Structure 1
């Protein structure tokens, strides 16, 4: 079965974004992998895919993709809630608190410092 192996978001505030993502992703065991030529950074964790915060390749300002969203899968609903809380603590905007969206399906949504929408989730 296929699975997503990486996700990137654009930023116009790369230094602030790296501080945000260092702390947020560090809280789930993801660490910086390397500095990207755009001034951004790529992250990885053990047994996870890659996540990047980058300056756009075309040199134009980063903008939020309407309808675009990336997700982080967790083993427990407590981890989903902690991830969401950490994001808000770091300045993210709440887009939907942790909770069941249908039986056995728990999601929590937020927007990062540039407005990119992300979520933490747990199935089952």
Structure 2
């Protein structure tokens, strides 16, 4: 079981503007923040953005993405819309992905640092 996931950022303040809005859509909230990181969850931290500990520039991993479980298709649609409004880049519009599963409905975006994130649901609505 995954405990939490962190992605690197070059600019915590810029990334917070993006993730504060996107995480709210997914039902997560900012639990802790500093100049070096921001941590999101419900009662415990499950997702963080942070400047790399080695002080080298953050870079997105090619082929890596993080999928967040959405409550339904409307949440996936809102995730995509809000992400684009807050500096994200479209990496796959909301829609069915029958090549994964007949009920797989997801949307993909790149955050301001190029990290690929997704919202997905298997619910019909």
**How far apart, in 1, do the equivalents of 2:42 and 2:110 lie?**
21
Question: RMSD of aligned C-alpha atoms?
Answer: 1.7
Aligned mate of 1:63, from 54, 59, 83? 59
Q: TM-score, with normalisation over the residues of structure 1? A: 0.88
Within the alignment, does 1:16 sit opposite 2:14 as a pair?
yes
C-alpha contact (below 8 Å) 2:17/2:86 kept by paired residues: no
Aligned mate of 1:97, from 68, 93, 100? 93
Gaps of 5+ in 2: none
Gaps of 5+ in 1: none
**How far apart, in 2, do the equivalents of 1:114 and 1:17 lie?**
8
How many residue pairs were aligned?
A: 120
Alignment of 1:19-58 (within 5 A): 19-36=17-34, 39-45=36-42, 50-58=46-54
Within the alignment, does 1:88 sit opposite 2:84 as a pair?
yes
Within the alignment, does 1:76 sit opposite 2:75 as a pair?
no
2:115 matched to which residue of 1?
116
Q: TM-score, with normalisation over the residues of structure 2? A: 0.87
**How far apart, in 2, do the equivalents of 1:13 and 1:80 lie?**
26
